């Protein structure tokens, strides 16, 4: 039977070949659900290279011994079913290596439980399988991945289902998404697989299922996929827990694949997902701009606009100094005529505020989110109060709209919370987030700043009608 690529394999192939044509090599991260055929594709891709090009060493590193065995058996299946004469016989064939002396090429496998696996080899093609589950990922990054040269024709493909946040694969993915590395991110949604379908006869979608169909129908989701999903979830005694687990093993998007490992997430993802897809009109005309300032290339300066129930035009910048940020904001203010600009004035943000006010933009206000909250009996600090305002805005009955942006979605849903000994709400700090391996929530902090004067500052002022002086018998 011919090896016909399924949709997931074909999409990954096109992305890899596009990068290879552009840069001469492949460096890719593949985030996927279970059983999408990506390992089968990569094994075939590398085996073909090994038997058709001289001096090609392919190495596969998996997360556990059983997976190593399975992937190597897949390669042996390719070899054993080759038509006679298409390639020379292997000079070495063991449970972990297939070597061709004629080509000076080989195909070998290792297990990530061994810290030194593949470290001393010279490798042209590397496949990392289920990287999020590697027990010694940082060691392998320094070891076996450095065994791959930077020359044209070399390839590194790291693929995995997600395994929470803060680990090696998550950090690699976030860097690739933000174009802070040479790797490209490739996401494969579960509903691209025809195997994940069931009959939709007599299937009536719930409100949640209708919402999912609305989000992903254009990308291939059907009622038959949702029918299969429901059958899968119904096998569990706890549907809520099963739903969260399903998102990690069968993700619709990269954002939902990386589940937050803390139980006490302050803002539920479903409210954010809904706001991303809403398209509404608003009567509010006063523009409020929130700005979270950051320097360097680790965190981002984030700028976002809000008019009433619509937040829009999120912008992020790296490696700008305070004068460059102030200069850009001056341009924004002159072009967009905001009613208020709220800037986090802790640290470097204070210099931006000072410069803009020096330019007579007196509607620019610095906000110290660490100060005492307005309702000091309810909130530990102003930051907690602003985040609570933002949460209530997202959850209100009237629809709201936010930018359809994965980074903002993640930043809104990453923070935990607790109550102090006085019963006041406390939002997880940036330092605690970074200790968990999470990036600073720059975009969501910028949005929170737009609530410094509450929900309704954006509504146009109105004149209060003067009460007329009472006349004789007017109330009779």
Looking at residue 385, which CATH number applies to its domain? 3.30.420.240
Is 74 contained in some domain?
A: yes
Q: Bigger pLDDT: 393 or 435? A: 393
| Ramachandran assignment for 364, one of left (phi > 0), alpha (psi -120 to 50 degrees), beta (any other) | beta
CATH number (domain holding residue 101): 3.40.50.300
Least confident of 19-33, 78-92, 296-310, 414-428: 78-92
Say if residue 181 is in the same domain as residue 316: no
Say if residue 154 is in the same domain as residue 284: no
Least confident of 5-9, 88-92, 423-427: 88-92
**Strands (DSSP E) found in 380-447:** 417-419, 425-427
CA torsion 34-160-254-180 (nearest 10°) is: -170
DSSP letter at 422 equals: T
**Backbone phi, psi, residue 363, to 5°:** -85, 0
Q: Bigger pLDDT: 21 or 461? A: 21
Q: How many CB atoms lie within 10 A of CB 47?
A: 22
Is 446 contained in some domain?
A: yes
H/E stretch holding 402: none
- Overall number of domains in the chain: 2
The CA distances from residue 404 to 177, 215, 289, 407, in Å, are 15, 11, 18, 9
Query: How far apart are alpha carbons 20 and 7 in whole angstroms?
Result: 20
Q: Are the C-beta atoms of residues 12 and 30 closer than 8 Å to each other?
A: yes
Looking at residue 363, what is its pLDDT? 95
Give the pLDDT band of residue 119 (cuts 50, 70, 90): low
For residue 188, the SS3 value is strand
Is 176 contained in some domain?
A: yes
**pLDDT above 70: residue 128:** yes
Q: Bigger pLDDT: 267 or 239? A: 267
Length of the chain counted residue by residue: 476
Looking at residue 15, what is its pLDDT? 97
**pLDDT above 50: residue 239:** yes
**pLDDT above 80: residue 265:** yes
Looking at residue 315, what is its pLDDT? 96
With a pLDDT cut of 90, the percent of the chain lying above it is 48
Give the pLDDT band of residue 159 (cuts 50, 70, 90): very high
Query: How far apart are alpha carbons 330 and 292 in whole angstroms?
Result: 15
Indicate the pTM of the whole model.
Answer: 0.65
pLDDT in tens, 177-215: 888 899 999 999 999 998 999 998 889 999 889 988 988
Say if residue 282 is in the same domain as residue 135: no
Give the pLDDT band of residue 462 (cuts 50, 70, 90): very low
Q: Bigger pLDDT: 165 or 233? A: 233
Kindly write down the DSSP assignment for every residue of 55-116, as one continuous string.
T-EEEEEESSHHHHHHHHHHHHHHHHTSPTTSSPPPSEE-SSEEEETTTTEEEEEEETTSTT
Give the pLDDT band of residue 127 (cuts 50, 70, 90): very high
Q: Which two tokens stand for residue 41?
A: 């594709």
Looking at residue 472, what is its pLDDT? 61
Is 439 contained in some domain?
A: yes
Average of per-residue pLDDT values in the chain: 87
Average pLDDT, stretch 428-455?
A: 85
Q: Bigger pLDDT: 99 or 127? A: 127
- Torsion sign over Cα 156, 160, 162, 167: negative
Query: How far apart are alpha carbons 291 and 456 in whole angstroms?
Result: 19
Give the pLDDT band of residue 249 (cuts 50, 70, 90): confident
Is 197 contained in some domain?
A: no
Looking at residue 208, what is its pLDDT? 85
> Which range of residues forms the domain containing residue 66?
7-188
Looking at residue 469, what is its pLDDT? 57
The alpha carbons of the chain give a radius of gyration, in whole angstroms, of 27
Q: Which two tokens stand for residue 68?
A: 């190593």
The CA distances from residue 117 to 21, 74, 113, 158, in Å, are 30, 20, 8, 16
Looking at residue 83, what is its pLDDT? 84
**pLDDT above 70: residue 378:** yes
**Backbone phi, psi, residue 360, to 5°:** 70, 25
Kindly write down the DSSP assignment for every residue of 321-365, as one continuous string.
-HHHHHHHHHHHHHHH--SEEEEE-STTHHHHHHHHHHTT-TTEE
Looking at residue 306, what is its pLDDT? 96
Is 341 contained in some domain?
A: yes
Say if residue 159 is in the same domain as residue 287: no
Query: How far apart are alpha carbons 259 and 268 in whole angstroms?
Result: 12
How do beta strands 125-129 and 57-62 pair?
Answer: parallel
Looking at residue 116, what is its pLDDT? 62
Average pLDDT, stretch 118-138?
A: 84
Q: Are the C-beta atoms of residues 105 and 50 closer than 8 Å to each other?
A: yes
Is 433 contained in some domain?
A: yes
Average pLDDT, stretch 101-122?
A: 77
Of 374, 367, 407, 402, the closest CA to residue 388 belongs to: 374
Give the pLDDT band of residue 361 (cuts 50, 70, 90): very high
Least confident of 144-148, 425-429, 433-437: 433-437
Least confident of 4-13, 333-342, 373-382, 426-435: 426-435
Is 118 contained in some domain?
A: yes
Say if residue 169 is in the same domain as residue 281: no
Among 188, 212, 238, the domain boundary falls at: 188
């Amino acid at each position: 039977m011919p090896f016909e690529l399924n949709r997931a394999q074909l999409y990954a192939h096109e992305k890899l070949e596009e990068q290879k044509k552009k840069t001469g090599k492949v460096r890719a991260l593949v985030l996927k659900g279970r059983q999408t055929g990506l390992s089968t594709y990569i094994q075939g891709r590398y085996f073909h290279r090994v038997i058709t090009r001289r001096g090609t060493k392919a190495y596969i590193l998996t997360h556990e011994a059983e997976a190593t065995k399975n992937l190597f058996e897949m390669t042996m299946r390719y070899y054993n079913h080759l038509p006679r004469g298409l390639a020379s016989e292997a000079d070495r064939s063991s449970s972990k290596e297939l070597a061709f002396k004629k080509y000076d090429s080989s195909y070998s496998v290792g297990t990530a439980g061994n810290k030194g696996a593949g470290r001393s080899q010279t490798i042209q093609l590397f496949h990392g399988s289920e990287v999020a589950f590697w027990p010694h990922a940082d060691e392998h990054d320094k070891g076996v991945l450095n065994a791959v040269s930077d020359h044209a024709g070399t390839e590194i493909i790291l693929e995995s289902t997600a395994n929470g946040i803060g680990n090696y694969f998550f950090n690699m993915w976030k860097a690739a998404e933000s174009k802070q590395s040479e790797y490209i991110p490739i996401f494969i949604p579960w509903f691209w697989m025809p195997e994940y379908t069931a009959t939709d006869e007599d299937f009536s979608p719930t409100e949640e299922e209708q919402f999912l169909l609305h989000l992903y129908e254009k990308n291939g989701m059907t009622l038959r996929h949702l029918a299969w999903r429901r059958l899968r979830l119904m096998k569990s005694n706890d549907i809520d827990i099963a739903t969260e687990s399903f998102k990690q093993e069968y993700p619709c998007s990269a954002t939902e694949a990386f589940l937050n490992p803390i139980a006490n997430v302050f803002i539920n993802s479903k409210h954010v997902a809904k706001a991303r897809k809403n398209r509404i009109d608003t009567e509010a005309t006063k523009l409020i701009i929130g700005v979270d300032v950051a320097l360097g290339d680790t965190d981002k300066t984030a700028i976002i606009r809000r008019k009433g129930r619509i937040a829009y035009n999120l912008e992020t910048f790296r490696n700008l100094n305070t004068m460059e940020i102030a200069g850009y904001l001056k341009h924004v203010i002159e072009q967009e005529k905001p009613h208020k600009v709220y800037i986090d004035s802790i640290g470097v943000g204070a210099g931006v505020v000072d410069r803009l006010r020096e330019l007579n933009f007196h509607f620019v206000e610095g906000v110290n989110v660490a100060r005492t909250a307005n309702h000091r009996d309810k909130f530990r600090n102003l930051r907690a109060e602003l985040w609570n305002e933002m949460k209530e805005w997202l959850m209100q009955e009237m629809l709201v709209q936010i930018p359809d942006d994965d980074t903002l979605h993640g930043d809104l849903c990453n923070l935990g919370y607790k109550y102090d000994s006085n019963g006041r709400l406390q939002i997880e700090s940036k330092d605690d987030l970074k200790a968990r391996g999470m990036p600073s929530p720059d975009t969501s902090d910028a949005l929170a700043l737009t609530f410094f004067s509450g929900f309704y500052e954006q509504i146009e002022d109105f004149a209060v009608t003067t009460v007329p002086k009472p006349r004789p018998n007017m109330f009779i």
